[in-house]
Amino acid sequence: MSSRSRSFRPAAAALAGLLGVSGVGHFARPGFFDAIVPRSLPGEPRSWTYASGVAELGVAAALAVPRTRRLGGYAAAALFVAVFPANVSMALRWSGRFPRERAIAYGRLPLQVPLVVWALRIARPPEGRR
């Protein structure tokens, strides 16, 4: 097996893709993300939207590069924990919306756990490379 194929990890590529798409979304549709920034955070929501978009793109890049993948996995786990308050804020703000929208908002909350686990699994080196 070549070193290139050993360095490719589908789970890392998938998580990098997910974070990359989300990161781009922060710049393409910032209004959506502004609306879920917790009001308790200081400053303008748009600043937090852009900062979190940059963080997601940076973590995606770290996950995509084998040399920084371990750090990227830990950074992704930390990012998922850090954005949890925004997901709670979204769920609370969307509590009066249509049932489908409420289901989306509340459904995001438990999804943070498998995302953190996924990121931590990526942070561990592959078997035989510890």
Q: What is the mean pLDDT of residues 28-55?
A: 94
Q: What is the pLDDT of residues 2-25, one digit of tens each?
A: 445 457 799 999 999 999 999 999
> What is the rounded average pLDDT for all residues in the chain?
91
70 and 61 in contact (C-beta within 8 Å)?
Answer: no
Q: What is the model's pLDDT at position 8?
A: 77
The domain spans of the chain are 3-123
Model confidence at 57: pLDDT above 60: yes
Quick check: 49 and 89 in contact, CB under 8 A? no
CA distances from 101 to 70, 85, 87 (A): 35, 18, 13
How far is CA 27 from each of CA 11, 94, 106, rounded to the nearest angstrom?
25, 22, 24
> How large is the average pLDDT for residues 94-107?
90
Q: What is the mean pLDDT of residues 35-41?
A: 89
pLDDT at 130: 53
With tokens 């997601």, the residue in question is 56
What pLDDT is recorded for position 127?
Answer: 66
Structure pTM?
0.85
